[in-house]
């Protein structure tokens, strides 16, 4: 019995050092080679931090492109999904309300034309990107509220669209914060 207890204590000590000291140091070291040196890619304009490239923000004014809805109110500290299933009545009502709001501001759309990412929250609740289609459907509204030519807004959208990873993995996407900051620069 004593033999097994000593082995358990040794194994626990080894795993504590490995998983609580060595592994976090390796991850922190590797993070130093990423954008932002492990502190996140900051988006700055005129020396001010406007946000982070991987954390979504709430845009609700009609002159801006809207991002994905958030189940957490875009709170990065409490990141997570709603955990409500597709058959949950509350969830279905929430999605239906989001579709109604989208159609109110985009009367030229049909319900079937609404991209899923514009009415459903992401798993993290803080997704900074929307699909290219999710941005395209908003061009007319944004251009009208900003009194801009739709072609100008569409060209700006094309410049701010990221293609699939390595040209083949995943869909094209648009970072909403970067696009809205570029829109504000147009006005100047």
Confidence of residue 127 (pLDDT cuts 50, 70, 90): confident
pLDDT (0 to 100) of residue 78: 72
What was the pLDDT predicted at 179? 92
pLDDT of 7 above 70: yes
Q: How much of the chain, in percent, has pLDDT values that exceed 70?
A: 94
Residue pLDDT, tens place only, 26-75: 988 887 777 766 666 777 777 777 777 677 788 889 999 998 888 777 77
Measured between alpha carbons, how far is residue 119 from residues 1, 102, 143 in Å?
A: 59, 8, 21
Q: Stretch 77-105: mean pLDDT, rounded?
A: 84
Distance between CA atoms of residues 174 and 186, nearest Å: 17
pLDDT at 36: 65
Tokens of 117: 């990412």
pLDDT of residue 188 exceeding 70, the answer is no
Query: What mean pLDDT, rounded, does the chain reach?
Result: 85
Dihedral of CA atoms 60, 62, 65, 71 in degrees, nearest 10, equals: 20
- Predicted confidence at residue 53, as pLDDT, reads 66
Residue 62: Cβ-neighbour burial (10 angstroms; 0-12, 13-18, 19+): middle
For the chain, domain boundaries: 32-187
Please report, in angstroms and rounded to a whole number, the separation of the first and last CA atoms in the chain: 77
């Amino acid at each position: 019995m004593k033999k097994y207890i000593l082995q358990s204590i040794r194994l626990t000590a080894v795993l504590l050092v490995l998983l609580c000291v060595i592994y976090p140091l390796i991850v922190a070291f590797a993070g130093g080679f990423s954008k932002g040196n492990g502190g996140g890619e900051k988006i700055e304009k005129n020396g001010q931090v406007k946000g982070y490239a991987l954390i979504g923000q709430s845009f609700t004014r009609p002159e801006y492109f809207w991002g994905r809805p958030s189940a957490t109110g875009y709170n990065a500290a409490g990141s997570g999904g709603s955990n409500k299933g597709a058959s949950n009545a509350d969830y279905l009502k929430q999605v239906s309300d989001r579709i109604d709001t989208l159609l109110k501001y985009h009367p030229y759309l049909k319900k079937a034309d609404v991209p899923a990412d514009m009415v459903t929250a992401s798993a993290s609740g803080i997704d900074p990107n929307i699909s290219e289609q999710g941005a395209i459907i908003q061009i007319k509204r944004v251009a009208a509220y900003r009194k801009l030519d739709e072609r100008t807004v569409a060209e700006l959208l094309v410049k701010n669209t990221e293609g699939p990873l390595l040209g083949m993995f995943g869909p094209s996407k648009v970072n909403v914060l970067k696009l809205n900051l570029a829109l504000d620069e147009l006005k100047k």
